[in-house]
Amino acid sequence: MIRRGGFMLFLTLLALLPLFSSYYITMGSYIGLYSIVSLGLVLLTGVARLTSFGQAAFMGVAAYTTAILTVKFGCSPWLTLLIAMALTTAIAFLLGAITLRMGGHYLPLATIAWGISLYFLFGTVPALGGSTGISDVSALTFFGRELRDEKLFYYLIWIVCLATLWVSTNLLDSREGRAIRALRGGVSMVESFGASGHRLKNIVFIYSALLACLAGWLYAHMMRFVNPSPFGLSQGIEFLFMIVIGGPFSLWGAIAGAAVITLLKTLLQGILPKLISQTGNFEIIVFGIMTVMVLQWLKGGIWSLVEHRLPPKPAKPVNDTSSLAQRVQPARRESLLKVDGVTKAYGGLLAVKKMSFELSAGEIVGLIGPNGAGKSTMFNLISGELPLTSGKIHFGTENISSLRSPQIARRGLSRTFQHVRLIPGMTVLENVMIGSYLRTRDGLLAAGLRLNQATENQVRAEAARQLRRVGLADSMLIHAGNLSLGKQRIVEIARALCADPLLLLLDEPAAGLRYLEKQELATLLSELREQGLSVLIVEHDMEFLMNLVDRIVVMEFGEKLAEGLPCDIRSNPAVLEAYLGGV
């Protein structure tokens, strides 16, 4: 109720602002435009952790496209919007294809270069108006009526802004949105459930560029004049200031940051020259200091102060049953996984050397060995996270040796990780829902327009079913970061089960669990085996493994040292010497 009341108050203030002076209308319009850009930047930088300094440049692409086409060729402004969006999509796709695979600092550097290049292009090419720009840009028309009234344009800007806020909120709360949010846990985690990390990065990069494009198009027709100044690198940096100060992880923080920076910039531009007795863009210094202070003491931005005082969002209802399609488990004792002479070399170092073993359907196999034996490397080779140097891996009857993580996940293999990979800011239920990525097909358009609610309800019910299955039904609405390490590992297993796997790979699932929790985990895995699910498990707790698994494979220095029943492995002299120190 309080959240709804606050939103209604916000809408009331927006509606009443044009009743004041023209100054407030202008400020409100700029805040709306910058909010649109900042919304895309929150998704790109705050959610997906991809830093871009080029959002102002994308604004410039749209502004100059519509200015040139309307002034010199007499095109309809609505047609130029489509052309500008197509051009922006092509440019963003090209930049993303070049830089997003590299990661690290390459994307920020590329967007800086792009922003600087475009700024000088606009300012030096005579056909683009040079430094003087292009004037007499056509006004927008609705049903033959021109939008020349600044109040009407103010309302148009905020209608578009609120629409993009709604679409962005819907997108984040969807199949693709959860996968984008999961990028914070690393590409390998997302790809282990069948999503393409590079595709997700491209999606959010292009989406943020399109929002900047939309803002640039509105700006050109609001001002009816364009020149290079608003689209330089300094404006791109200001957009980053907006989301950092407002709240890099919150869509409402984008609007708050746009309002604070826009109003404070106007105030400082009037005060600082008088204090310093010199003109210049000194407000950037103040913004830089503010940014450092926020990053140091308030990483959630100023919006986090508001959010902490709001009541939690009401939980969405969770159905009792899910109708998502389920795989048919293979017949017991049927060969499910066959590792044949697999080798992984890093230069002259052999991390895995000619490893061979098999796993049958309905079987739990343990993979053990001392630290550095190559167990995690073997896991990553099976799951497709690492490419093989030589050898073959068969999953069922198919050779998956050359496949990567998303392709292998589609065939029914799901895994957990040695170091827990959950998204702390998402609820336990949302984290588990990530695992169902391959079980639905709703796209971006359906997500943005909330046409996916029937499917989302099924996914939510499936995630809740898996949480009940592992004994965490009472924790499903808690943020994952608030759980103990042991429970977080159980959440990872529930997320893997939500993918409806044929083979479950568990990397040290009992690490950090108390004795009773280990017993409950062993009971759960035994029940999964009874239901026909196959499990390959890496674990250091010998007591836990000996009473659970059907067979054990022992590795040492990347090679298979022994294989057999738990009772045989326990008494094997070579295993005792290598793994247990000869005890």
**CATH code, domain carrying 527:** 3.40.50.300
Residue pair 209/91 in contact (Cβ under 8 Å)? The answer is yes
Residues 291, 152, single domain; the answer is no
Q: Which helix (H) or strand (E) holds 339?
A: strand 335-346
CB-side neighbour CA atoms (13 Å) of 106: 10
Assigned domain for 540 exists: yes
Supply φ then ψ for residue 419, to 5 degrees.
-105, 125
Assigned domain for 319 exists: no
Residue pair 415/193 in contact (Cβ under 8 Å)? The answer is no
**Boundary of a domain, candidates 278, 309, 340:** 309
Assigned domain for 7 exists: no
Residues 93, 241, single domain; the answer is no
Residues 286, 385, single domain; the answer is no
Assigned domain for 90 exists: yes
Within 10 Å of residue 538's Cβ, how many Cβ atoms?
Answer: 24
Assigned domain for 30 exists: no
Residues 403, 265, single domain; the answer is no
Give the number of domains in the chain. Answer: 4
Assigned domain for 12 exists: no
Residues 166, 264, single domain; the answer is no
Closest CA to 391 of 430, 338, 442, 346: 338
Range of the domain at 150: 41-231
Assigned domain for 3 exists: no
Residue pair 324/462 in contact (Cβ under 8 Å)? The answer is yes
d(CA 29, CA 46): 24
Residues 153, 63, single domain; the answer is yes
**Boundary of a domain, candidates 469, 499, 529:** 499
Residues 205, 109, single domain; the answer is yes
DSSP string across 77-137: HHHHHHHHHHHHHHHHHHHHHHHTTT-TTHHHHHHHHHHHHHHHHHHH-GGGTGGG-EE-P
**Boundary of a domain, candidates 186, 214, 231:** 231
Assigned domain for 324 exists: no
Residues 542, 398, single domain; the answer is yes
Say how many residues make up the chain: 583
Residues 336, 402, single domain; the answer is yes
Residues 403, 525, single domain; the answer is yes
Residues 288, 208, single domain; the answer is no
Tens digit of pLDDT per residue, the chain (583 long)? 557 778 888 899 999 988 888 999 999 999 999 999 999 999 999 999 999 999 999 999 999 999 999 999 999 999 999 999 999 999 999 988 888 877 778 888 888 998 899 889 888 888 888 888 899 998 898 877 788 889 999 999 999 999 999 999 999 999 999 999 999 888 888 999 999 999 999 999 999 999 999 999 999 999 999 999 999 999 999 999 999 999 999 999 999 999 999 999 999 888 888 888 777 777 888 888 898 898 889 888 999 888 877 777 766 767 767 788 888 888 888 999 999 999 999 888 889 999 999 999 999 999 988 878 888 899 899 999 999 999 999 999 899 999 999 999 999 999 998 888 999 989 999 999 999 999 998 889 999 999 999 899 999 999 999 999 888 888 989 999 899 888 899 999 999 999 999 999 998 888 878 888 888 888 889 998 998 899 999 887 778 888 899 999 988 888 998 888 988 888 888 877 766 555 4
d(CA 324, CA 331): 22
Residues 171, 63, single domain; the answer is yes
Q: What is the residue type of 253? A: G
